[in-house]
């Protein structure tokens, strides 16, 4: 039986732990508490004795629309709190540093089952996954709209976008806040497999990915998998950890300036759109 807390659920099936975003009405946008819950579930999955892989999946038409712009902790607070060091150190710096680390340091095979587009901090977390499966390339894209929100890169995207998609695509995605299409993601090697037309629903797609992972890990030596993952991280960890620590400080300074709060409110009021 899956355990669901605040729209994020957790369950173990055979060799995999499955974490599901279940907020389809908001395109699986996540508030601060939901990102915290996601991190707690990923930590729990890391400690499962029987599992080899952890799958992050969603419901509805989006994988995740990123941070919830209607989160009261971002836009509706006492101004004395909303522009204070105390607030942003606790609710942004500490949380983003930790969440990025939890994903990057996950010892099992981390899998994203992307039923649809992914935006913002959720895109950053997807880029820290080992394996990325996409339901329909035509409906999938990655959007890292930090430059449109008065923010800077988050979740080590300063490194991961270029590492996984190349410098030129990273410049377009990050400096110009343009979406990266599913086709481009596939051509640049980000996508392990896509299932265009095969899965009629998100539920079918999620089941297909789960079965694929269960079959793929069957009879492999589990300690070897964990050992290899540790070794594969040697080259990228210094870059990712350095980027994470620099990003949270640069991002903190943006929140203190107050521009992101204003732009999030504009998004919520449909006065601002992203470049597509
Ligand atoms: N937060 C809260 N609700 C959201 C949301 C978000 N990020 N994104 C979409 N929704 C809600 C919409 O308000 C809408 O709700 P209603 O039906 O009640 O009006 C519903 O989801 C469907 O959205 P749209 O009608 O806008 O769907 P669309 O297909 O026309 O557009 C979209 C989809 C391009 C993703 C658009 O919704 C959008 O631009 N969303 C904002 C995405 C965003 O900027 N996320 C934050 C990224 S930054 C980040 O993640 C870093 C950080 O920590 C600050």
pLDDT, tens digit (0-9, with 9 covering 90-100), for 204-241: 999 999 999 999 999 999 999 999 999 999 999 999 99
- For the record, the structure tokens of 180 come out as 């990266």
What pLDDT, on the 0 to 100 scale, is given for residue 196? Answer: 82
What pLDDT, on the 0 to 100 scale, is given for residue 199? Answer: 73
Residue 65 and residue 105 in contact, taking contact as beta carbons nearer than 8 Å: no
Q: Is the shortest distance between the CB of 29 and ligand 1 below 6 Å?
A: yes
pLDDT band at 146 (very low <50, low <70, confident <90, very high): very high
Residue labelled with tokens 């508490």: 33
115 closest CA partner among 180, 234, 209: 209
Q: Where are the beta strands (DSSP E) in the chain?
A: 3-5, 8-13, 16-21, 53-58, 109-114, 118-119, 131-134, 141-143, 180-181, 193-194
Beta strands across the sheet bearing 141-143: 118-119, 141-143, 180-181
Query: What residues have CB less than 8 Å from 225, skipping those under 6 apart?
Result: 52, 109, 217
What pLDDT, on the 0 to 100 scale, is given for residue 247? Answer: 98
What pLDDT, on the 0 to 100 scale, is given for residue 108? Answer: 98
- Give nearest CA residue, ligand 1 atom 52: 67
- For the record, the structure tokens of 114 come out as 């992307």
* Mean pLDDT to the nearest integer, 68-87: 83
High-pLDDT (> 90) share of the chain, %: 91
Q: Is the pLDDT of residue 145 over 90?
A: yes
Helix (H) or strand (E) holding 218: none
pLDDT band at 163 (very low <50, low <70, confident <90, very high): very high
**In a 3-state reduction of DSSP, which class is residue 17?**
strand
Q: What are the backbone angles phi and psi of residue 8, rounded to the nearest 5°?
A: -125, 125
What pLDDT, on the 0 to 100 scale, is given for residue 135? Answer: 96
Q: How far is the CA of 67 from the centre of ligand 1 (A)?
A: 8
Bridge partners of residue 181, in order along the sequence? 141
Residue 67 and residue 121 in contact, taking contact as beta carbons nearer than 8 Å: yes
* Mean pLDDT to the nearest integer, 82-97: 94
Q: Is the pLDDT of residue 100 over 90?
A: yes
pLDDT band at 80 (very low <50, low <70, confident <90, very high): confident
As to burial, measured by CB atoms within 10 angstroms (0-12 exposed, 13-18 middle, 19+ buried), residue 67 is buried
At 15-72, the pLDDT tens digits run 999 999 999 999 999 999 999 999 999 999 999 999 999 999 999 999 999 999 988 7
Cite the active site residues. Answer: 154
Q: Is the shortest distance between the CB of 119 and ligand 1 below 6 Å?
A: yes
Whole-model pTM: value is 0.97
What pLDDT, on the 0 to 100 scale, is given for residue 269? Answer: 92
Residue 109 and residue 53 in contact, taking contact as beta carbons nearer than 8 Å: yes
Q: Beta strand 193-194 with 3-5: parallel, antiparallel or unpaired?
A: unpaired
Residue labelled with tokens 């040697």: 234
At 251-274, the pLDDT tens digits run 999 999 999 999 999 999 999 999
Q: Is the pLDDT of residue 73 over 80?
A: no
Q: What is the CATH number of domain 3-268?
A: 3.90.226.10
Q: Is the shortest distance between the CB of 154 and ligand 1 below 6 Å?
A: yes
Q: Is the pLDDT of residue 195 over 80?
A: yes
pLDDT band at 79 (very low <50, low <70, confident <90, very high): confident
Query: What residues have CB less than 8 Å from 53, skipping those under 6 apart?
Result: 15, 16, 17, 108, 109, 110, 111, 213, 217
**What is the rounded CA–CA span in Å between residue 106 and residue 124?**
15
Residue labelled with tokens 């989006």: 62
Nearest ligand 1 atom to the CA of 67 is 50
What pLDDT, on the 0 to 100 scale, is given for residue 47? Answer: 98
- Give nearest CA residue, ligand 1 atom 37: 65
Per the prediction, the chain carries an average pLDDT of 96
What pLDDT, on the 0 to 100 scale, is given for residue 200? Answer: 82
């Amino acid at each position: 039986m899956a355990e669901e807390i605040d729209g994020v659920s957790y369950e173990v099936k055979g060799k995999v732990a499955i974490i599901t975003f279940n907020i389809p009405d908001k395109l699986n946008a996540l508030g601060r508490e939901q990102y915290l819950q996601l991190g707690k579930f990923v930590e729990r999955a890391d400690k499962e004795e029987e599992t080899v892989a952890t799958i992050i999946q969603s419901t509805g038409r989006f994988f995740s629309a990123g941070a919830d712009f209607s989160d009261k902790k971002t836009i509706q607070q006492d101004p004395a709190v909303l522009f204070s060091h105390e607030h942003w150190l606790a609710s942004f710096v500490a949380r983003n540093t930790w969440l990025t680390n939890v994903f990057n340091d996950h010892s099992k095979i981390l899998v994203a089952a992307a039923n649809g587009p992914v935006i913002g901090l959720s895109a950053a977390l997807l880029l820290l996954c080992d394996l990325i499966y996409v339901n329909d390339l035509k409906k999938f894209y990655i959007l890292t709209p930090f430059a449109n929100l008065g923010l800077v890169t988050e979740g080590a995207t300063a490194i991961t976008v270029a590492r996984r998609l190349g410098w030129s695509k990273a410049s377009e995605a990050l400096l110009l806040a343009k979406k990266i299409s599913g086709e481009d993601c596939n051509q640049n090697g980000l996508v392990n497999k896509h299932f265009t037309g095969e899965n009629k629903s998100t539920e079918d797609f999620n089941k297909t990915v789960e079965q694929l992972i269960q079959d793929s890990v069957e009879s492999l030596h589990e300690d070897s998998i964990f050992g290899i993952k540790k070794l594969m991280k040697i080259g990228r960890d210094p870059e990712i950890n350095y980027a994470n620590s620099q990003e949270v400080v640069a991002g903190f300074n943006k929140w203190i300036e107050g521009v992101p709060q204003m732009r999030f409110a504009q998004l919520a009021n449909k006065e601002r759109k992203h470049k597509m």
